[in-house]
Homo-oligomer: A and B are copies of this chain.
């Protein structure tokens, strides 16, 4: 039964993501991941080749979700600012709601060269998509002239940094934070401001 195996694999990835998120990749132990996923340490190797492969699939899954969100949010209507804001909100939600797999996508260093190359390529594709949106806004005159690459990376930094301080049990929900953040980040680009 293929379904059962894939479902179990996903459970393990989510468990591993939770551990990676709170301990970091290097500090997380296979025994710890196994305990979180309710199986024995040795059994992990029935589902994955090793720790590096678990991290790889965590990151791959997270990037797929983000790329999908990028396509979805970018395709909908509105001016460049509105489209960009939707993408940023989607990105933040990906990280904050779906806490599990996503946080690990920051730790590219832990991968073997071949796996890392694939992740980096996919990540670059995502960043390029975002930058294109910024560049289009600049070209159209809606955004003020500036270095699109730099601004894109600044946005990504502000968004990814949220995993360091956001507390799901705090006073504000993830969506509120995501929307406020997006509003601020887009405002830095707009020529004139609107209420």
A151 touches B27 (CB 8 A): no
Take A154-B181, A157-B160, A158-B157 as given contacts and tell me if A191 and B193 are in contact as well, using a CB distance cutoff of 8 Å: yes
B144 touches A193 (CB 8 A): yes
Interface flag for A45 (CB, 8 Å): no
List of B residues within 8 angstroms of A162 by Cβ: 153, 157
Interface flag for A146 (CB, 8 Å): yes
Interface flag for A184 (CB, 8 Å): yes
Of B109, B151, B159, the residue contacting A24 (CB under 8 A) is B109
Main SS class of interface, A: helix
Q: List the number of copies, as a whole number.
A: 2
Take A144-B193, A161-B161, A180-B146 as given contacts and tell me if A154 and B185 are in contact as well, using a CB distance cutoff of 8 Å: yes
* Most chain B C-beta atoms within 10 Å of own C-beta, residue among A24, A146, A153, A188: A188
Tell me which residues from 145 to 166 in chain A have a Cβ below 8 Å from any Cβ of chain B: 146-147, 150-151, 153-162, 164-165
Q: List the B residue with the shortest CB-CB distance to A108.
A: B164
Interface flag for A125 (CB, 8 Å): no
Interface flag for A34 (CB, 8 Å): no
**Supplied contacts A26-B27, A106-B164, A187-B188, 19 more A-B pairs, CB within 8 Å:** A24-B26, A27-B110, A146-B183, A150-B181, A150-B184, A153-B161, A154-B161, A154-B181, A156-B161, A157-B159, A157-B161, A157-B164, A158-B161, A160-B161, A185-B188, A186-B188, A187-B189, A191-B193, A192-B193
